[in-house]
Structure 1
């Protein structure tokens, strides 16, 4: 298991570096108000919570993951934070927590499974159903020059169209960012809201 090898580090949750991880978090944060409450599905070691607290987020945070070691580590690490909690959760079989503004997912769709597209769409739909305001997630784009056989790449336009047609008309697709200097935009982020915004 990666956590046994790497401990409390980005490598345990398959992030290449802290800086790349924070770029993804910064994009998520752009669409979240400081007082918002958040469920972090596939929270790993709760690095997103650390980032949000550093950026001034004051709302409640609930981290969910199916790896017990992550949950135990987080409960110990963040025991002084009275506005956060953690729980073990199976994304496929369990109900998602209700009463939170946003459900966010970073990196949980990247690994190859037997039913990747079904898992992606069902997870987004379940999360959107219980969210008060919306859902934010990222995934690996099919618009790349190289694909790793162990990873899942998906057409962002297909995902956008499915969500726009079947889940919510209020969808934002961001596919112009890089995670390192002179890098390539190999992933995308989608924001799915319950209401539209005036400019």
Structure 2
């Protein structure tokens, strides 16, 4: 299970995002969201993973790694809900990171995929990801179609490893016919991803029903493994 993109894969993804920003600017559509409302509905499901003492605006400092942060819209969503994590964002696209820093100048945001960083086990209280695993990585033209989904699983496993309390992320739902018309997007069967996550995580919760084509997973660490 490879957790590192090839140079060809990195260039393809970075180029796609560069063109998207040229077309849409610093808008959710540049991140391949249909609109801001859909983007923020996914954010809301991730926010609901946080403990109550954080959700109600507790002052205790907590750290968050946002994997594939795009323009760091998730951070500003937290701000609007009176939440101020010790935020770190990473994104493979230099253009996305430049956009994020233009919108929020003082944030800690770096260019790279998760495997580029030597994060320690349990380094971040929480690790989250929204939409960053929607793009197909393993393709037929690159001869890696038989490995489709392996990169995503590797990223999820690493996220869990470097979190202290747990992770939350969303994926596209393969049960609906829409995915056949979007070969550029990667989707998964919820039950299969649930089983995969249960193979290593202490507690796993599957969240469905908020959008037809999307699901969210919460992976929590118990005190024994944190």
| TM bucket normalised to smaller | 0.7 to 0.9
Separation (CA, whole Å) in 2 of partners of 1:70 and 1:63? 11
Per the alignment, residue 25 of structure 2 pairs with 7
The alpha carbon displacement at 1:96 in A equals 5.4
Decide which of 79, 104, 116 is 1:94's aligned counterpart. 116
Separation (CA, whole Å) in 2 of partners of 1:120 and 1:87? 20
Structure 2 unmatched runs, 5+: 1-18, 56-60, 139-146
Separation (CA, whole Å) in 2 of partners of 1:10 and 1:49? 14
* Per-residue Cα deviation, 1:15-46 (whole angstroms, up to 9, x for no partner): 11000111000111111234532111100011
8 Å contact 2:207–2:216 — kept in the other structure? yes
Per the alignment, residue 106 of structure 1 pairs with 130
TM-score by length of 2: 0.76
Separation (CA, whole Å) in 1 of partners of 2:195 and 2:153? 12
8 Å contact 1:101–1:131 — kept in the other structure? yes
User: What RMSD over aligned residues (CA atoms) do the two structures have, in Å?
Assistant: 1.7
* Per-residue Cα deviation, 1:136-175 (whole angstroms, up to 9, x for no partner): 111111221332222212111111111102x213001001
- 1:118-197 alignment to 2 at 5 Å? 118-147=150-179, 148-165=182-199, 167-178=200-211, 185-195=212-222
Structure in which a larger fraction of residues adopt helix? 2
- 1:47-66 alignment to 2 at 5 Å? 47-66=73-92
Poorly superposed stretches of 4+, deviation over 4 Å: none
Q: How many residues align?
A: 185
8 Å contact 2:71–2:103 — kept in the other structure? no
* Per-residue Cα deviation, 1:76-113 (whole angstroms, up to 9, x for no partner): 3212x5xx31011123x413544211111111121222
* Per-residue Cα deviation, 1:64-84 (whole angstroms, up to 9, x for no partner): 0011122222223212x5xx3
TM-score by length of 1: 0.86
